[in-house]
Each structure stands twice: as structure tokens, then as C-alpha cells.
A and B are shown apart, each in its own frame.
Chain A
Amino acid sequence: MSEDQVSSRLGRRGFLGSAATLGAVAGSPALLAACATGGGGTPTGTENKPTPAVSESADNPFGVDPKAPLDVVIFKGGFSDEYAKYHQTMYKKRFPDAAVKHTGTQDITPQLQPRFVQGSPPDVVDNSGAQALDTTTLATTGQLTVIDDRFLDAPSLDFEGKKIRDTLVDGALDQLTIEGKVYGLPYALNINGIWHNAALFEKNGWEPAKTWDDLMALGVKTKAADLPLWTYQGQYPNYMVTVFAAMVTKHGGNDVMKNIDNLEDGAWSQDAVKAVAEAFFELKSKGYIMRGTASLTHVQAQAQWASGKAAIIPCGSWLKSELGSQLPADFKMAITPTPSLDAGDKLGYEAIPYGTTESFVVPSKGKNVNGGLEYLRTMLSKEAAQKFAELTYTLTVVKGAHDDQDVDTVLKSSLDAYDAAQAAERIQPWRYTGWYVPMKDDIEGAMGQLLTGNLDANGFVARAQKVADRVKKDPKIKKLSR
């Protein structure tokens, strides 16, 4: 390229070029919209009842057309998508004439949003991960098949004589229940707790803390051993919001988080919220959080913990699957519930939040809705659930599927924690994180500030309340309640 060309290239034309590049970013919603608003819009039906293609039978309760192709999109994240391929083989075995199309991706929204707008969504979507579609909006605009009695009363695939509803753990469908209706099947059952290396704890004679005082005492001991007590997924303080909400619920009862979810006035000034915020501030001010934690990604923080740079890390039961080969051989991962704040806690120490992830939905405008439901029925079989647990070290919502499974020790630790929790009152899942994403983001940011000492407990509470008030007043955001 001659010098003349170089300089002329960056004249006005260069400017227009860069303006267009900017437009590609600035106008990306608009670009998508180009295909949306251009064509004639079909009116949004509120609920499309799927019609059976062939007559329904015990073997084929939804009347699936055996020849109809099935289009499955799986979120290929921490759990990968091997388990789904297995589930598809199971489906294929029963409907050999059906072509099953598998897509494993992390870009759920970029790939599927245009398809929803055009009215040609896939038949089954594992709507998960950072790029997940907004389920609430999809549900309230009638884009998802309602999981009703027709599905729940259908016979289980391999639990003899049981209906599907009898094979689900308590609260399995809570996460996808919106205003009393169920819009999908959350599949993985994650226990959210605090992880430690049992081998290290045994060697030093430490005990996992059952109360906050225990934890502070443990902090003194680990400090003496030159080991920071605590680290967390620094850039994602939401992991700590999970610990926070669990401790708040255990301390003040389920109504506390319920008030927060329902955007009640002054919900964040409730005593239990303040008390736990004080405790978190203490964790920071006593220097028990590993230095530099706040700037670590979740991968970096978890790797630091696995290499013995901190004693404790909060995480869900997917941690082993996510750590993969980073886990040293002599490491004994074990999960425990969050500590009780004090003796006055309303819920027992054993109470542990178990949440469901991997939201499988059946779009109502898919071509093979019955096939989609049948795929979910397949996933709820014992065989499918065990395969999932075997591949991901994570339990499923299928009740009793894992009891007789030759489980891995980490899976066993989750199962024990889950079983123990059955004795205590259940921590109901808090919902604002899914309902009001802007509020989730802002409170996550405030949590980061509390844990780095830039906000004290009162500052955190005041800021969270301000955010909640703003969301409450925002007419653009649809309000939900539980």
C-alpha cells in the first residue's frame, strides 16, 4: 500500500466506516429488530395447547408423532453437553424414525432470540448460563408451553407405577413457577453451601464452623497457620449474595427474603438483613478474606482455593465439575451449610439452600411440542438422571434416582447435605435475582463493596433498599410476587 492510499483511506470514508462499525454495536438490538418488525407480526397467543399428533397411550402419553424431528438446544457450560447427547440417544431409541438435532452452545440468547421472534423456536431449550433468555418475559408473553397436569400426571418412564409428579423432589418446579404456572423443568439440583478441603481440616484438627462464632474462631486458627479463611468468586459477588440470603433466611425465617422479593417497603432494613450484613462486614474487617479476592474471576478464585491458598469458598455443587483437572489428587472436597448466625436462628443449621439450575423449557411455538414434552419425560427417568449425575457430579430433581447410585464422594457429600436438610425447615428460594435483573446486578455490586470494606453494614442496607425502591417505581419492569 502506497503512502497516498494510507492517508486517503482514513479520510471521510474511514470515518463513515468507523461510524458503521459503531452502529453495529450501538444498533445491535436494532439490527435484530430489522427481522422482527419488518414482517407481519403474528398475534401473541397467551397459551397454545399442544394437540397430540397420534392418539395418546400409556407408552406415548403425549401422542408424539414418531416421525417428527426434534430440535434440542443445550447450554454447553460447566456441565458440558455429553449428558444431553445420552438423553437424545434414549429418545431416539424409542422413536427411531425421529431425527434429533442437537446444538450445544453458550450463546443461547444470540442464537435463539431471532428464532423466537420469527416464531420458529426449537422444541427443547436448556435455557441457562450467562446468555440465557429472559424466562419471565418469555413466559408472560406466552412463548413457553405450560407444564400442567397433563405432563405431571403422565406415567414415569422407568419408575414403575409412578406419575411424573411423584418422581420430583419438593420444590423442583419452584424456579420456573411464575404466577402459579409452571413454564419448564429445572433439571440439576444444586446444593449451595461452603466448601472446604476435609483432608486439610483433618490434618490441622479444624472443624467446619456451625455458627458464626465458630467461624470467627476458625479464622483465628487458619490465620495462625498463615492461611486466609475465606475467598469467593471476586468479580461475581453474587456467590456471596447466595451465602447472605441463606444466612438471612436461617436467622430471620423465610418471610424475610419473601418481603425482599415482594419489594415490601423497608424490606432491606429488617433486623435479620442488618445482622448478617454486620457479620459480613466483620469477616472483611477482621481480615479473613484472602487478599486480592475482589479482582479474581470465578475460575481464578476457585483455582486459588483448590491450590490451598484459602480455607473456604462458597459455591454450588457444580464446583467439582467446574474445577476439572485443577483438583489435586489428595484433595477431599466437602460441602457444609452456611453457619448459623447465633442461637436465635429460626431455621436449623442443617437447612441449606438447594436451588435448581439448567432450565429446560418447551417453546409453545415449536414444531414438535409433544416431542419436547416427551424429551422432558425421558430426562426424568432414573436412567437419564443417573447418567447426568455420573457425568456432572451433580444431583438432579428426580427423587430417589441417586440413592442407590454408586456415587462419587463429592456427589455423596451433596446428597448427605441434602438429606440432612430434609429434617429442618426448608429455605425457600429467593426470586428477585431472576425477576428483577437490574436489582440483582446492583445488589451484587453493593455486596462487593461491603466485602471490600467500601460500604459498612448500614451503607449496604441503605443502598440495597434504594435499589429496591427504584425497581418498585420503575413502570418498565413487570412486578411479580410470591
Chain B
Amino acid sequence: MRKGRWPFIITFLTPPLALYLVFVLSPFIQGVQISLTDWTGLTPTFNYVGLQNYISLFQDAEWWHAVSNNVKLLIVIPIVTLTFSLVLAALLTRGGTGGARSGLAGSKFYRVVYFFPQVLPVVIIAIMFQFIYAPQGGLLEKFLSWIGIDMLSIIPNGPLGNQGIILWAIAFVAIWAGVGFFMVLFIAGMQQIPRELFEAAAIDGASRTRMFFHLTLPLLWGHVQTAIVFIGIGTLDMFGLLSVMARNGLSADSGADVMATQLYRTAFQGNSLFGYASAMATMLLIFSLILAVVTFRITRREKIEY
């Protein structure tokens, strides 16, 4: 084996490495390169303009507005989604029943139901919620009027027409669509926890809450950590939902504009400022790397062997 080792390794590593270089790394590098130019995206030629794009980006109030929306979403969506999915996962596994049974009655059914949104394409979800939020005859409006509340007087112009509400209306959709996936992830993790630990805790008289915080959560920490990075990066993007539900971020006077949508408009719908858009893309890349590093730092804990 020793003799043929290198050719063997090279044969297996080269194709994926080449694909990765061509389709992942080189676009990133070229993106950075283009961010230093005034390229319009329509010609074969361009001029280098140094850091001019970055300087205007930092002075661009609209970009900061988009960044602040990203930050708001980054705080709210992961916390709410992961809390919900942890609670649901605990209820549907041993942890939620005090270790006595392997989940609430009908837990298999609930698992499937909660996972449903994950099966739907994001565009379908977006269009569906556009109908739900419709101010005249939408599901939400009808429901509220049935219980005697006039939606348009508490939310003027409806969720998607109100500058202060639109971001949260769409964040709700992201949470609704994401909970099921993370629930399944956490269920998988919880089922790996040996049942003896739950039984021991039950014998010691631990309440369900205590069991969750002192047994389930610590043993699940690896999964939670992965989930935070995963959802963080997904939240930094949000392009699919916002593209459909907020006209690429423009709806309600850019009330739900984020970096990804602004970047798209700048490159493809504005005055063809590809260089400028590439600077935005580079910043987005830097933000996602920072996000990943920070999350791993914050959530680092000692690994528990079991």
C-alpha cells in the first residue's frame, strides 16, 4: 500500500479540490477583485478604482440600514427559532416526559407535521404568507375580524405594507419555516442521550425543567452549537423570502431591506454597479466569517463523553 499511496490519494483528492477551487474559491477571489473596480457587469473591460467602493459603502446610509436589519434578524430569529425547536424536541422525546416514556402521545405525528414547512420550497412559503397577510380577505385579517379585531387599525396598511412591521412579519415566516428542521436535528441529538441518565435523574426526583437544563441541554450542546452557526448564516442571507415578500427589500420604503437584497438590486436592478455590489458581497462574506468564528468561540464548551 505504501508504494501506491500518493497516486491513490491524489486521484481521490484532485477532482473535489479542483471543483472547489473553480466553483467556490475562485468566484470569491474574483468577487474581491471586482470590488476594487468600476465594472458594470456588461462589458469585457473595467478600471481599477482602489478602495473607492468600500469608502462609499461605509458612507452609504442605506447600506447601514440594511446592516442594522440584518443585526435585528440575527438577534431575534436564532433565539426564537432555537428556543421553540428545543422545547418541541424535548416534548417529543424522553426529556419532555420526565424520562418515563419516549415522548408525548402522538409524538410521531407531531414530528411529521412540524417538519412540513421544511419540505415546501421557500418561494411557495413566501407566496403563501403573502396571501395570509393580505389586508383584504387574508387569513390573518379574517381570523382577527372573527375574534373582533380590525387588523388594519392595529397594523395600518397590513403587515407587508407597514414600514415598522414588515421585517418582523417576514421574520415570523422564517421562524415558522425553520422550527421543524431544527426540531428534527435536536430530536436526533436527544435520542443519542442514554436513557439510563434520564432514569437516574427521575429516580433522584429531578423535575422535567431541571432535567432539561441539567441533563438534556448540556449533552446536546454540540448540536445546539452547529444549529446556531447554521441558522446564523441562513439569517444573514434571507434572500429568498425577502425577494418575494418584500420586492427584493424595496417594499414599505425598504422596511425589510437586508444586505443580500440590497446587493442584488445594486448589481442587477440599479445602475449596473457591479463593482460596488461586489464590495457589498465581500462585506457580507466577511460578516459571515466573523459570525461563524464568534459563534464557535462563544459556544465552545468542554465535550462530554458518554
Interface residues of A (CB under 8 A from B): 3-4, 6-7, 10-11, 14-15, 18-23, 25-34, 36-38, 41-44, 109-110, 113, 116-117, 119, 130-131, 133-134, 136-138, 141, 143, 234-236, 291-297, 300, 304, 309, 436-438, 441-442, 444-446, 448-449, 452, 454, 474-478
Nearest-neighbour CB distance to chain B for A319, whole angstroms, equals: 19
A136 to B272, CA, bound (A): 9
Nearest-neighbour CB distance to chain B for A198, whole angstroms, equals: 24
Nearest-neighbour CB distance to chain A for B167, whole angstroms, equals: 14
Chain B residues lying within 8 Å of A21, measured Cβ to Cβ, are 237
A234-B157, A441-B250 are contacts. A27–B42 as well, Cβ < 8 Å? no
Chain A residues lying within 8 Å of B233, measured Cβ to Cβ, are 15, 18-19, 22
User: Could you give 16 example pairs across A and B, Cβ below 8 Å?
Assistant: A3-B192, A4-B192, A7-B185, A18-B230, A19-B292, A21-B237, A22-B233, A23-B285, A29-B277, A33-B278, A43-B45, A133-B42, A295-B162, A309-B136, A445-B254, A452-B161
* Contact residues of B between 68 and 119, Cβ < 8 Å to A: none
A117-B41, A291-B152 are contacts. A234–B161 as well, Cβ < 8 Å? yes
Among candidates A11, A23, A441, residue contacting B226 with C-beta atoms closer than 8 Å: A11
Q: Told that A25-B237, A26-B260 touch, could you supply 9 new A-B pairs with CB distance under 8 A?
A: A3-B188, A3-B191, A4-B192, A22-B284, A235-B251, A235-B252, A300-B134, A452-B156, A477-B273
Nearest-neighbour CB distance to chain B for A169, whole angstroms, equals: 29
Where chain A touches its partner, the secondary structure class is helix
Chain A residues lying within 8 Å of B251, measured Cβ to Cβ, are 235
Pick from B25-33, B170-178, B297-305 the stretch touching chain A: B25-33
A449 touching B253, Cβ below 8 Å: yes
Q: Select from chain A the residue with minimum beta-carbon distance to B141.
A: A292
B288 touching A22, Cβ below 8 Å: yes
Chain B residues lying within 8 Å of A474, measured Cβ to Cβ, are 56
Chain A residues lying within 8 Å of B24, measured Cβ to Cβ, are 20, 23
Nearest-neighbour CB distance to chain B for A149, whole angstroms, equals: 27
Among candidates B56, B135, B264, B281, residue contacting A476 with C-beta atoms closer than 8 Å: B56
B237 touching A7, Cβ below 8 Å: no
Among candidates B40, B188, B250, residue contacting A7 with C-beta atoms closer than 8 Å: B188
Most chain A beta-carbon contacts within 10 A, residue among B38, B185, B192, B270: B270
Nearest-neighbour CB distance to chain A for B177, whole angstroms, equals: 16
The 9 closest A-B pairs by CB, nearest first: A295-B161, A292-B135, A30-B31, A294-B161, A41-B44, A295-B158, A445-B253, A294-B157, A6-B188
A295 to B265, CA, bound (A): 21
Chain B residues lying within 8 Å of A119, measured Cβ to Cβ, are 44
Q: Is B43 an interface residue (CB 8 A)?
A: yes
Most chain B beta-carbon contacts within 10 A, residue among A30, A31, A236, A295: A295
Chain B residues lying within 8 Å of A446, measured Cβ to Cβ, are 253
A408 to B158, CA, bound (A): 37
Counting residue pairs across A and B whose Cβ atoms lie within 8 Å, the total is 220
A235 touching B160, Cβ below 8 Å: yes
A32 to B39, CA, bound (A): 12
A25 to B239, CA, bound (A): 8
A44 to B45, CA, bound (A): 7
Nearest-neighbour CB distance to chain A for B291, whole angstroms, equals: 10
Q: Digit string of B124-163 for contact with A (CB within 8 Å is 1, else 0)?
A: 0000001001111000000000000000100011111111
A29 touching B161, Cβ below 8 Å: no
B135 touching A32, Cβ below 8 Å: no
Most chain B beta-carbon contacts within 10 A, residue among A14, A25, A29: A29
A29 touching B292, Cβ below 8 Å: no
Chain B residues lying within 8 Å of A25, measured Cβ to Cβ, are 237, 239, 260
A7 touching B152, Cβ below 8 Å: no
Q: Select from chain B the residue with minimum beta-carbon distance to A463.
A: B253
Chain B residues lying within 8 Å of A4, measured Cβ to Cβ, are 192
Interface residues of B (CB under 8 A from A): 24, 26-28, 30-31, 33-34, 38-45, 52-53, 56, 62, 130, 133-136, 152, 156-163, 184-185, 188-189, 191-192, 222-223, 226-227, 229-230, 233-234, 236-237, 239, 247, 250-254, 260, 263-265, 267-278, 281, 284-285, 288, 292
A18-B230, A29-B31 are contacts. A292–B41 as well, Cβ < 8 Å? no
A138 touching B152, Cβ below 8 Å: no
Q: Select from chain A the residue with minimum beta-carbon distance to B232.
A: A18
Q: Select from chain A the residue with minimum beta-carbon distance to B278.
A: A29
B42 touching A117, Cβ below 8 Å: yes
Chain B residues lying within 8 Å of A136, measured Cβ to Cβ, are 271
B285 touching A26, Cβ below 8 Å: yes
B285 touching A32, Cβ below 8 Å: no
A304 touching B136, Cβ below 8 Å: yes
Q: Select from chain A the residue with minimum beta-carbon distance to B247.
A: A235
B230 touching A14, Cβ below 8 Å: yes
Chain A residues lying within 8 Å of B230, measured Cβ to Cβ, are 10, 14-15, 18
Q: Select from chain A the residue with minimum beta-carbon distance to B38.
A: A476
A138 touching B42, Cβ below 8 Å: yes
A235 touching B254, Cβ below 8 Å: no
A110 to B267, CA, bound (A): 11
B45 touching A137, Cβ below 8 Å: no
A309 to B134, CA, bound (A): 15
A32 touching B41, Cβ below 8 Å: yes
Among candidates B56, B234, B281, residue contacting A26 with C-beta atoms closer than 8 Å: B281
Nearest-neighbour CB distance to chain A for B141, whole angstroms, equals: 8
Chain B residues lying within 8 Å of A14, measured Cβ to Cβ, are 226, 230
Most chain A beta-carbon contacts within 10 A, residue among B40, B229, B275: B40
A36 touching B185, Cβ below 8 Å: no
A34 touching B30, Cβ below 8 Å: yes
A37 touching B250, Cβ below 8 Å: no
A67 to B59, CA, bound (A): 55
